[in-house]
């Protein structure tokens, strides 16, 4: 019989180590004779951010572990989806905390801002780990102050980030998982050919609708048809492997050609039972990326509201740098870009019966 170690009775304050947590707020303005009232709020908000970041790293670490052997056991997809959902909810709290921080006026912030130099949110080691673990890499990062993002950290921390960059990220794991999707070519079914026909039929229906409508004059019809042709060229990235290779080399698409096709098939046929959880997984990643973008934007707007175009305490250009990260630091943009290639569900021909069975759940009936 296994004997479990008997633990002493737990006390709320001791279990949460509240003596340390509640004694971790030390306003610097108090050191010069008069404490600025709102500095306490500023400290607590950022400490709460760091605590939530610790939880995010805990969740992402378990997600990474699910891919540890280079494969994702299908039985673990639900767990991964659940934990990514928790990360998404925490990131939504990131956005909501800005509402609390904005109860501080610009003048109140200026009462203690100079005491913070050169401290800056750019020095959050945990946030840099989150970005790196998710898949943000140096070629896609914006340098602030012309310096490497690792520079503000200790030698040990810089090495830890460098080591993380050498390891597969969540993005890399998911891309490899998509590449292993077995349903793109089964027996007589070839998804690309299937999709190419659907695109051609969808574009042709749109063309006929434009030409036959009585609500547009000749000039407007010509404009709509030109727009339709431009839309058709979007599909070249998925219908033409050479075009995809070009976009990949230019850094405009990170997903491999096969991974992109797999994501597209999952989106188009997400109602098939076997594809429902894969769709949920991709959707969680898009939600995380979208919420991070929203948080970066809200953060940038808060800085503009508080400081205008003043330089950041850490030496960055402040608002301009933050807005650049909104546009450039998206990690799972490819999963959203795939939506460019979607066609109406009504344009999708039915799947072959053998494939429908492969994508279904089977229960023995006696």
**Which residues are paired to 185 by β-bridges?**
190
Can you read off the two tokens belonging to residue 113?
């801002």
365 pLDDT above the threshold of 60: no
User: What rounded mean pLDDT belongs to the chain?
Assistant: 90
The number of folded domains in the chain is 1
Query: Can you tell me the mean pLDDT for 165-177?
Result: 95
Which backbone phi and psi does 186 adopt, to 5 degrees?
A: -135, 120
Question: Does residue 289 form part of some domain?
Answer: yes
Region 343-366: what's the mean pLDDT? 78
pTM of the full predicted structure? 0.90
Query: What are the phi and psi torsion angles at 190 (to 5°)?
Result: -130, 110
Question: Measured between alpha carbons, how far is 65 from 57 in angstroms, rounded to an integer?
Answer: 12
Closest CA to 299 of 275, 318, 277: 318
21-63: pLDDT as tens digits = 999 999 999 999 889 999 999 999 999 999 999 999 999 999 9
Residue 98 in this model has a pLDDT that exceeds 50: yes
109: in domain = yes
For the chain, give me the number of helices (H) and strands (E)? 17, 2
Given a cut of 80, whether residue 305 has pLDDT beyond it is: yes
Measure the CA–CA gap between 137 and 166, rounded to whole angstroms: 10
Mean pLDDT of 158-165: 97
Question: Would residue 341 count as lying in a domain?
Answer: no
pLDDT at 2: 67
DSSP alpha helices (H): ranges in 122-256?
125-134, 155-166, 170-179, 191-212, 218-234, 236-239, 241-249
Note the pLDDT tens digit of each residue in 181-228: 888 988 788 898 888 888 888 888 889 999 998 888 999 989 999 888
pLDDT of residue 311: 62
The DSSP 8-state label assigned to residue 253 in this structure reads -
For position 364, what pLDDT does the model report? 47
Q: Is residue 177 part of a domain?
A: no
Residue 363 confidence (pLDDT): 56
104 belongs to a structural domain: yes
DSSP type of residue 3: P
In a domain, 34, yes or no: yes
Copy the structure tokens of residue 33: 């004779």
- Proportion of the chain above pLDDT 70, given as a percent: 95
Query: Tell me: the pLDDT tens digits for 253-301?
Result: 899 999 999 999 999 999 999 999 999 999 999 999 999 999 999 999 9
In a domain, 208, yes or no: no
Domain extent for 120: 13-168+280-334
Q: What is the pLDDT of residue 366?
A: 45
Q: Does residue 325 fall inside a structural domain? A: yes
CATH number of the domain residue 145 falls in: 1.20.58.480
């Amino acid at each position: 019989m296994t004997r479990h170690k008997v633990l002493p009775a737990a006390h709320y304050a001791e279990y949460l180590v509240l003596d340390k947590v509640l004694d971790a707020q030390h306003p610097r303005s108090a050191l010069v004779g008069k404490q600025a009232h709102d500095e306490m709020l500023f400290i607590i908000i950022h400490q709460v951010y760091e605590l939530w970041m610790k939880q995010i790293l805990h969740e992402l670490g378990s997600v990474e572990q699910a891919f540890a052997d280079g494969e994702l056991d299908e039985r673990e997809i639900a767990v991964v989806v659940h934990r990514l959902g928790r990360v998404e909810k925490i990131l939504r709290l990131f956005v909501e905390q800005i509402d609390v921080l904005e109860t501080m006026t610009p003048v109140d912030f200026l009462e203690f801002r100079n005491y913070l130099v050169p401290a800056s949110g750019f020095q959050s080691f945990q946030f840099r780990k989150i970005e790196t673990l998710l898949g943000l890499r140096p070629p896609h990062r914006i340098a602030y102050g012309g310096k490497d993002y690792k520079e503000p950290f200790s030698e040990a921390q810089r090495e830890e980030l460098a080591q993380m960059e050498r390891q597969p990220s969540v993005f890399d794991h998911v891309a490899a998982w998509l590449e292993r999707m077995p349903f793109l070519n089964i027996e007589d079914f070839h998804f690309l050919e299937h999709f190419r026909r659907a695109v051609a039929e969808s574009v042709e229906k749109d063309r006929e609708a434009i030409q036959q409508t009585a609500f547009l004059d000749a000039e407007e019809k010509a404009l709509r048809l030109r727009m339709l042709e431009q839309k058709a060229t979007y599909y070249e990235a998925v219908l033409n492997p050479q075009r995809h290779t070009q976009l990949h080399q230019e850094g405009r698409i990170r997903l491999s050609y096969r991974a992109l096709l797999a994501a597209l098939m999952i989106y188009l046929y997400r109602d098939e039972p076997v594809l429902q959880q894969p769709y949920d997984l991709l959707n969680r990643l898009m939600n995380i990326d979208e919420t991070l973008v929203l948080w970066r934007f809200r953060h940038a707007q808060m800085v503009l509201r508080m400081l205008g175009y003043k330089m950041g305490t850490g030496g960055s250009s402040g608002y301009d740098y933050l807005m650049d990260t909104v546009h450039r630091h998206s990690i799972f943009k490819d999963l959203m870009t795939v939506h460019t290639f979607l066609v109406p569900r009504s344009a999708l021909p039915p799947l072959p019966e053998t494939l429908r069975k492969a994508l279904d759940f089977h229960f023995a009936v006696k």
